Amino acid sequence: MAIELIENGEAIKSDLLTLNMGPQHPATHGVLRVEIKTDSEIVAEAIPHIGYLHRCMEKHCEHLDYRGVIPFTDRMDYLAAMSMEWGYALAIEKMLGTEVPKRAEYIRVMIGEMQRLASHLMFFGVYAIDLGAFSPFLYAFQKREFILRIFEEISGARLLYNYYWIGGVWNDVTDAQLRRIAKFVEEMKEELKKYHTLVGENKIFIDRTKNVAILTPEQIYSFGASGPVLRGSGLAHDLRKDRPYSLYSELDFDVQVGHGEKGTVGDCWDRYHVRMREMHESIKIIEQCLDGIEEGPVMGKVPKIIKVPEGEIFMRTECPRGELGYHLISDGGKTPYRLKVKSSCFTHTSMLGEMAPGQMIADFVATIGSIDIVLGEVDR
Amino acid sequence: MHNELVSHLNSTVSGCNATAVTPEIGDSSIFVDASHIKAVCEELATGEWLFHTLQVITGTDYEDRIEVSYILCSYTKNNELILKVKLPKPTSDSIPEIDSVCSVWKAANWQERECWDMVGVKFNGHPDHRRILCPEDWEGFPLRKDYVVQEEYHGMKVNPAEKINNADHHFFKKIQETLEDPKKISHSWKGE
């Protein structure tokens, strides 16, 4: 890859320079370290090193009862903790055959989609910062703050909720809270239009993201990418449509895919735009939940001491960052025998090595931002 | 789907010895011989079943064996499959080995590295066979059931006694012993 410089008529081969990006680099979104071999300003090779946030949550879970695992799942993707809990609760419920009350299902879908909004708002803010624009971050955080406040009111915590329990949700929401959510999503529609003109159609932003880090469908399938990364490459796969869980089969929403409007299908701009349009879909879903929500209990019948029957299950759910899978193996006891987490961020981080070669270093920052990883989920 | 797939595998990959396990509760799986895993995976990924995505590789340590589960999925056919192999239980001087499937799916690269790091299964033919989450010179494989944490790492004490939150441990132990009824520690069971 080294550039050949012509000096006095002779070709000089320059050496590659090794650069460490992270683990304390603001653009790596946490404690990711990427060892970059650069040739002037072009990345020749990038080797991601992970594990700085490794707590071996899977081992901890083997010593906890089934309810005790839920707070640990929060700490994986701490920006979308509700979605992390949801998948785990669904896996256990499916094994136990628990019926979740209708009101709890509505609350779950509504809260899950609000979490998606919060997570995508975070992406929108920090991605703009990665690319040098500071003010979108402030807009995004103002709106995200409302969601966190609502979450704090209903669950008692701002980020790590322990709210989705096996059999339902921990606490009921009040009518006043529902009215505030309705008002918020109404405001959010206008807000999203503003974001699009502010960032999405911004000339500098488009120049920085179009035709950068293009992912082809073959790469996507081979690496097992999911979520907005997969849909950004023009593939319309969404677990909420393909294998609907909870109430998603009854709700009306569209799967958003990248079309390559500004550059090529599967570039950074497409991944950005898929997330922004997904927020509109989330608002649609929240509105339907607000219309449909009915009175009733929020907790189903669950035994006091949960013993999952012997067997195994692989439960996938569509989280803001991609598909989250729980592979639970039970031996019939009070604790999971083995709980393996399929993390989409782990998968997406493994793609960095393939996306980086040939990029400018500044584009590489845009690439890391566009796959939207949370290192808590990568390392678990 | 599993029975069809088993007969398909047995006819296309000779000697793979595929058998389906279909329990009443939970997901079904297919067991194949460990020596044929690569051929089976190639057939599944490129053949008519189109399992073009590897979701995850789970290593599980049982009393008498180690099981490696390959969870495959097909987006176009909307299918999911748990493919399993049994490996012999590791002893003090042997580690279980299996062929790498990195050439079939790129996702296998990091998944196999994690499986090696956590459970200690060696993947023959892996292009970059290193630990991934733990440091390269870490001892032992944390997700094995008989794992004991090493006491020292580069002169640093692992889990020093003064850093262990004993008050917490005692508190939760007491709760488990004295309050069998969770209603007493939380008002959250009002749904019942």
Reduce the DSSP state of residue A64 to 3 states and report it: coil
- Using CA atoms, how far apart are residues B190 and A200, in angstroms rounded to an integer? 46
Single-letter residue type at A223: F
With respect to residue B70, please indicate whether it lies within any of the assigned structural domains: yes
Contact B68, A324 (CB under 8 A): no
Please tell me the least confidently modeled range out of A1-5, A81-85, A368-372, A373-377: A1-5
Contact B72, B97 (CB under 8 A): no
Which among A349, A362, A25 has a CA at the least distance from the CA of A207? A362
- How many CB pairs lie under 8 A apart between chains A and B? 117
- Using CA atoms, how far apart are residues A50 and A38, in angstroms rounded to an integer? 20
- Using CA atoms, how far apart are residues B43 and B41, in angstroms rounded to an integer? 5
DSSP per residue, A273-317:
HHHHHHHHHHHHHHHHHHHH---S-SB----SS--PPSEEEEEEE
Contact A297, A170 (CB under 8 A): no
With respect to residue B57, please indicate whether it lies within any of the assigned structural domains: yes
List, for residues A96-128, the tens digit of each pLDDT value.
Answer: 888 899 999 999 999 999 999 999 999 999 998
Residue whose entry in the numeric block shows the structure tokens 């918020």: A184
Report the residue from B27, B110, B118 with minimal CB separation from A312: B27
Reduce the DSSP state of residue B17 to 3 states and report it: coil
With respect to residue B64, please indicate whether it lies within any of the assigned structural domains: yes
Residue B154 Cα, gap to closest chain A Cα (Å): 17
- Determine whether the interchain pair B110/A301 forms a contact, defined as Cβ–Cβ distance below 8 Å: no
Q: How far is CA A21 from CA A138, A180, A305, B98, in A?
A: 26, 42, 47, 34
The ipTM assigned to this model is 0.84
pLDDT beneath 50, residues of chain B: 182-192
- Using CA atoms, how far apart are residues B56 and A327, in angstroms rounded to an integer? 9
Reduce the DSSP state of residue A263 to 3 states and report it: coil
Domain positions in chain A:
56-305
Reduce the DSSP state of residue B78 to 3 states and report it: coil
Which among A64, A74, A77, A57 has a CA at the least distance from the CA of A161? A74
List, for residues A245-273, the tens digit of each pLDDT value.
Answer: 888 988 999 998 888 888 888 888 999 99
B103 touches chain A (CB under 8 A): no
Q: What is the mean pLDDT of residues A78-92?
A: 91
Beta bridge partners of B122: B97
In chain B, residues 8-37 whose CB comes closer than 8 Å to chain A? 23, 25-27, 29
With respect to residue B42, please indicate whether it lies within any of the assigned structural domains: yes
Q: What is the pLDDT of residue B179?
A: 57
- Using CA atoms, how far apart are residues A366 and B94, in angstroms rounded to an integer? 45
Burial of A50 by CB count in 10 Å (0-12 exposed, 13-18 middle, 19+ buried)?
A: buried
Direct distance between the N- and C-terminal alpha carbons of chain B, in angstroms, rounded to an integer:
39
Q: Residues of B with CB below 8 A from A242's CB?
A: 75, 78
Q: What is the pLDDT of residue B187?
A: 37
In chain B, residues 135-174 whose CB comes closer than 8 Å to chain A? 135, 142-143, 147
Contact A377, A345 (CB under 8 A): yes
Report the residue from B54, B60, B143 with minimal CB separation from A224: B54
Single-letter residue type at B112: E
- Give phi and psi for B26, each to the nearest 5: 90, -170
In Å, the largest CA–CA distance within chain A is 84
Domain interval for residue B26: 2-183
Residue whose entry in the numeric block shows the structure tokens 């910062």: A129
- Using CA atoms, how far apart are residues B130 and B120, in angstroms rounded to an integer? 11
A31 alpha carbon, distance to own chain's centre: 17
- Using CA atoms, how far apart are residues A168 and A174, in angstroms rounded to an integer? 16
Single-letter residue type at B30: I
- Determine whether the interchain pair B56/A235 forms a contact, defined as Cβ–Cβ distance below 8 Å: no
Give chain A's radius of gyration (CA, Å): 22
Q: What is the pLDDT of residue A258?
A: 86
Contact B121, B115 (CB under 8 A): yes
Q: How far is CA B148 from CA B141, B143, B158, in A?
A: 9, 10, 11
Residue B188 Cα, gap to closest chain A Cα (Å): 6
Report the residue from A104, A222, A304 with minimal CB separation from B105: A222
A145 alpha carbon, distance to own chain's centre: 18
Reduce the DSSP state of residue B82 to 3 states and report it: strand
Reduce the DSSP state of residue B153 to 3 states and report it: strand
Position A224 pLDDT exceeds 70: yes
- Determine whether the interchain pair B132/A51 forms a contact, defined as Cβ–Cβ distance below 8 Å: yes
- Determine whether the interchain pair B80/A224 forms a contact, defined as Cβ–Cβ distance below 8 Å: no
CATH number of the domain at B40, please. Answer: 3.30.460.80
Burial of B51 by CB count in 10 Å (0-12 exposed, 13-18 middle, 19+ buried)?
A: buried
Q: What is the pLDDT of residue B9?
A: 81
Reduce the DSSP state of residue B47 to 3 states and report it: coil
Query: B97-99 and B19-21 as β-strands: parallel, antiparallel, unpaired?
Result: unpaired
Contact A73, A88 (CB under 8 A): yes
- Determine whether the interchain pair A224/B181 forms a contact, defined as Cβ–Cβ distance below 8 Å: no
B58 touches chain A (CB under 8 A): yes
Helix, strand, coil shares of chain A, percent, nearest 5, are 50, 15, 35
Residue of B nearest to A242 (CA): B78
Residue B27 Cα, gap to closest chain A Cα (Å): 5
With respect to residue B14, please indicate whether it lies within any of the assigned structural domains: yes
With respect to residue B188, please indicate whether it lies within any of the assigned structural domains: no
- Using CA atoms, how far apart are residues A155 and A133, in angstroms rounded to an integer? 33
- Determine whether the interchain pair B75/A170 forms a contact, defined as Cβ–Cβ distance below 8 Å: no
- Determine whether the interchain pair B75/A312 forms a contact, defined as Cβ–Cβ distance below 8 Å: no
List, for residues A26-47, the tens digit of each pLDDT value.
Answer: 777 778 888 898 888 888 888 9
Position A326 pLDDT exceeds 50: yes
Residue of A nearest to B45 (CA): A222
Question: How many domains are there within chain B?
Answer: 1
Q: Residues of B with CB below 8 A from A325's CB?
A: 55-56, 71
H-type alpha helices, B13-72? 37-46
- Containing B124, the helix (H) or strand (E) segment is strand B122-124
* Other CB atoms within 10 Å distance of the CB of residue B158: 9
With respect to residue B121, please indicate whether it lies within any of the assigned structural domains: yes
Contact B14, B34 (CB under 8 A): no
B51 alpha carbon, distance to own chain's centre: 19
- Determine whether the interchain pair A171/B188 forms a contact, defined as Cβ–Cβ distance below 8 Å: yes
CATH superfamily, domain A56-305, is Cytochrome-c3 Hydrogenase, chain B (1.10.645.10)
List, for residues A132-164, the tens digit of each pLDDT value.
Answer: 888 889 999 988 999 999 999 998 888 889 899
The CA-based angle A24-A28-A33, given to 5 degrees, is: 60
- Determine whether the interchain pair A312/B56 forms a contact, defined as Cβ–Cβ distance below 8 Å: no
Contact B87, B65 (CB under 8 A): yes
Q: What is the pLDDT of residue A7?
A: 58
A222 alpha carbon, distance to own chain's centre: 20
Over chain A, what is the mean pLDDT? Answer: 87
Q: What is the pLDDT of residue A12?
A: 58
Q: What is the pLDDT of residue B177?
A: 65
